[in-house]
Amino acid sequence: MKISTKWLGRYVDLQGISIDELADRLTFAGLEAEGRTYLAQGTNLVIGEVLTCVAHPDSDHLSQTTVNIGKEVLSIICGAPNVKAGQKVIVAQNGSVLPKITIKKTLIKGVESNGMICSLLELGVDPKTLTEDQKAGIEVLDKDAPIGQDPLAYLGLDDVILEVKLTPNRSDCNALWSLAYEVSALFDRKVTLPDYLAYEHIGQPTQLKVSSETTKCPLFIGKTIGELTVKESPLWMKQALNALGFKTINNVVDISNYVMIETGQPLHFYDAAKLAAPEITVKDNRLGIVKTLDESEIHLHKEDIVITCQGKHIGLAGIMGGDDSKIDESTHGIIIEAAQFSPSQIRHTSRRVNLITEASLRFQKGLDLNAAHKAVLRSTQLLIELADAKEIETTVVYGTPTTDEKIVKVHPQHINDLLGDVYPIEKVMEIFRVLRFSPKFEDQMIVCQIPTTRLDIEVAQDLIEEVGRFVGYHNLKGTLPLMPMTLGGYDQRQQLRNNIRSLCVGFGMNEIITYTLVNKDKTVEGVSPLANPQALISPLSDERQYVRNNLLNSVFETVIYNQSYKMKDFQLFEVSTLSHIDHTQERLALVQSGNITINRWQKETREADFYSLKGIIEQLLVENGYAIGRIRFDAIQDHPFFHPYQSAKVFLDKTELGMMGRIHPLLSQKLGIDSILMAELNLEPLLKTKVAKIKYNSIIKVPSVLRDVALVVEQSVSASQIEKIITEAAKPLVKSVEVFDVYTGEHVEKGKKSLAITIAFQATDHTLNDDEIQTHFAKIIEALKTQTGAILRA
């Protein structure tokens, strides 16, 4: 909210308080002064009259002038095209400091100049408020401008506008009078408000009837002013409104705005003659059109609040009045409206019709229930003073303005306990007193009577906050909570997630975080997508319309992005939770692209493949306590994401975790990316199954014996089958089976492959001799032959 400090100064004494002090004190009392604007700036300025004005002898655009500033006559060189003898002008004397320059006595092309004749632009006035003529030349003042006086005061530009960010609980300070009380409390200064209460009982009998047919308007105050004169507002009022950016129109309209600033209560004035009858009814549940002051036509929804007169729509309540009954030069009598409307309804309507007005902004923040009454009285006062108001009728009220003040209590010890410091009771009582809470001490409690303006004070904690913000928190000494010791730490899920992250980083992978919201296409296919993709009611865009039900589709975006920037060799992972109504699932996505180890001059470049990703998945599981024997990779038959022959479902025991392998070439083609290896795994089953504990087995001291064997088998025979046959055939002496070469091609029959395998034999209790090994080796060969048709290669 914008605050004119000059205007504020009319109600509370600001003498001797600098703008810095005012801004700081407000900020640390919770009314953040986040900006300030000087309407104009300049020292040593004076109003002068141009006596003579002739062309500079050595210049075609400069003028040589003499200017009377009262105490002396200055000779000034002026570059403005519009300077003329006889003008009243703004003179910056030598030593004057303007926003961009400091004025000194100088020689301009050989002629002495003592000062400068100024444009408003040079005084730092906002160019938006100036005409093209004003921007192009010096400011020419009215003929009656007093020579020798301060031009800024004369123009009403001696004002600083503070931009105060009001928190929602302090909407009361939208009323300048309330803010004056706040400032008076902070600086212990006196508040003097206009004597509006004196107009309480003025009024002759009235015909006016006001009523409301909706609960969204609990209060409507009306008043007829039978006769008044529409004319220009006085200078002080125009300057005050202009300072805050209001356009001034005429005295009557300006008064409604002026009173709104003072009391926070938006008012509407109807031209009485333009209404069919002095009857105003507030309604909702109306359809049709309201034609508003800005000449736009608003189509009503049934929840909108509308002001009616004999069934005719005369205003969009709380937002803008109707065009048909607006005040103009011909207006002779008016009806004043001061009402309360549902803040949320005003907010909804104003947003829907995209009409945000000074009135709607105030209504949607909530108003003091007494503000309407105050505003009517103050308007009456100003209309009498400035618009010759006569034929004033009595005020008509629908609803009951609440004048009861709330009672809120707080125990002094509660204040100390909650803030964590000692606040002497006298100090606390003083704070509540300056806030006009009329504090009393009864039964150990401080009892406060809260003014109706302070909607935010409801419970003891609200009173404690008042103490806190008045005393300020700068002296509050930080302490740590004194409470029973507790054990901190990550739970099992968080620990597993952390472990996975650390391992992936160790494997050389970069962690990514992708958006949860995706487009519809990304929810259709994926690795076990959670059912029923959830759409948002009102998304930002189609691109972010759905809550994702799988991870890889999002990860693809990262792959596309990085590959398009010529980064081809990378490994990525993301751990994220898929969230659905009443159901969540934590998942891990992995990607390998291009080469995973690169050392070209050593010829150690290794391209990612099925096995490199398989290794990562195995190791992630093993390191978290899931023994390798529990992990299985089963071929995927048919999935649109995965290569039909280089992909697998990953199982832990009998539970499917997800899928891994090479991207289907058709998909990578569709995405426009190079082939990648990828996986998406559900982490939930890991949290539900047992993990192995670390257990020491004594080291076997007897040596193991290695035997190599080369076999030719059908292509379809898998390495794991052979491993199993070997292990079974010579149980329990086979310690390990390792495939060290796979070969197809020359010397191997088509459709077959050659496998070279190292078998390690070991007994726990003795060194195996040749005969033993030979016996078991023969058993193995026999088993392989009968079970797979393997042929031993020479």
With CB under 8 A as the contact rule, which of the stretches 111-119, 307-315, 601-609, 639-647 interacts with another protein? 601-609
Could you tell me the sign of the dihedral formed by the alpha carbons of 501, 507, 508, 514, in that order? negative
Report if residue 494 touches another protein, rule: CB under 8 A: yes
By the rule CB under 8 A, 536 interacts with another protein: yes
- CB-wise, 480 or 794, nearer to another protein? 480
- Which position among 55, 101, 153, 476 is part of the footprint of another protein (CB under 8 A)? 476
Question: Using CB under 8 A as the criterion, what x/- string covers residues 383-422 for binding another protein?
Answer: ----------------------------------xxxxx-
Quick count: other Cβ atoms within 10 Å of Cβ 158?
19
Q: Cα Rg for the chain, rounded, in angstroms? A: 42
CB-based contacts of 361: which residues, under 8 Å, 6+ apart? none
By CB under 8 A, how many residues form the interface with another protein? 95
The dihedral of CA 532, 521, 516, 596: what is its sign? positive
- Is residue 513 involved in binding another protein (CB under 8 A)? yes
Instruction: Pick from 94, 461, 624, 762 the residue near another protein by CB under 8 A.
Output: 461
112 DSSP 8-state letter? E
Residue pair 176/371 in contact by the 8 Å Cβ criterion:
no
| CB nearer to another protein: pick between 131 and 602 | 602
The answer to whether 312 touches 283, Cβ cutoff 8 Å, is: no
Query: How many C-beta atoms surround the C-beta of residue 554 within 10 A?
Result: 21
Residue 282 CB, shortest distance to another protein, in Å, is: 19
CB of 96 to another protein, least distance (A): 26
Strand order in the sheet with 791-792: 734-743, 752-761, 705-714, 791-792
Compute the least distance from the CB of residue 267 to another protein, in Å.
24
Distant-in-sequence contacts of 135-141, Cβ < 8 A, 24+ apart? 136/81, 136/82, 137/80, 137/81, 137/82, 137/83, 138/78, 138/80, 138/82, 138/83, 138/87, 138/89, 138/90, 139/89, 139/90, 140/82, 140/87, 140/88, 140/89, 141/47, 141/87, 141/88, 141/89, 141/90
Please tell me whether residue 504 binds another protein under the rule CB under 8 A.
yes
Piece of the chain touching another protein by CB under 8 A; list 58-66, 386-394, 531-539, 730-738: 531-539
- The minimum distance between CB 467 and another protein, in angstroms, equals 9
Phi, then psi, of 648 in degrees rounded to 5: -150, 155
Please report whether residue 629 would count as binding another protein according to CB under 8 A: no
Asked if 335 and 275 touch (Cβ cutoff 8 Å), the reply is: yes
Binding-site member from 201, 601, 745, 769 for another protein (CB under 8 A):
601
Query: Which among 100-108, 295-303, 428-436, 576-584 is the span making contact with another protein, rule CB under 8 A?
Result: 576-584
- Asked if 301 and 270 count as a contact pair (C-beta separation under 8 A), the reply is no
> What residues from 156 to 185 belong to the interface with another protein (CB under 8 A)?
167-170
Name residues whose C-beta falls within 8 Å of residue 274's C-beta, 6 or more positions apart in sequence. 324, 325, 326
Exactly one of 107, 531, 581, 794 binds another protein (CB under 8 A); which one?
581
Chain residues 47-76 in contact with another protein, contact rule CB under 8 A: none
Which residues inside 22-41 make contact with another protein, applying CB under 8 A? 27-30, 32
Residues 6 or more apart in contact with residue 255 via CB below 8 angstroms? 233, 237, 379, 382, 383, 386, 387
Q: Should residue 482 be labelled a site residue for another protein when binding is judged by CB under 8 A?
A: yes
Please, which residues have CB within 8 angstroms of residue 291's CB and are 6 or more apart in sequence?
A: 297, 298, 313, 322, 323, 324
CB 2 within 8 A of CB 162: yes
Rule CB under 8 A: choose which of 81, 288, 424, 508 binds another protein. 508
Sequence-distant (≥ 6) Cβ neighbours of residue 613 within 8 angstroms: 590, 592, 660, 661, 677, 678, 679
Q: Tell me how far, at minimum, the Cβ of 559 lies from another protein, in Å.
A: 10
Answer for which of 207, 285, 498, 718 binds another protein (CB under 8 A) is: 498
Positions 338 through 357 that interact with another protein (CB under 8 A) = 343-344, 347-348, 351
> Given the complex with another protein, which of 2 and 580 has the nearer CB atom?
580
485 forms part of the interface with another protein (CB under 8 A): yes
531 binds another protein (CB under 8 A): no
CB of 351 to another protein, least distance (A): 7
* 751 is a site residue for another protein (CB under 8 A): no
Shortest Cβ 163–another protein spacing (Å): 14
C-beta of 150 vs 421, nearer to another protein = 421
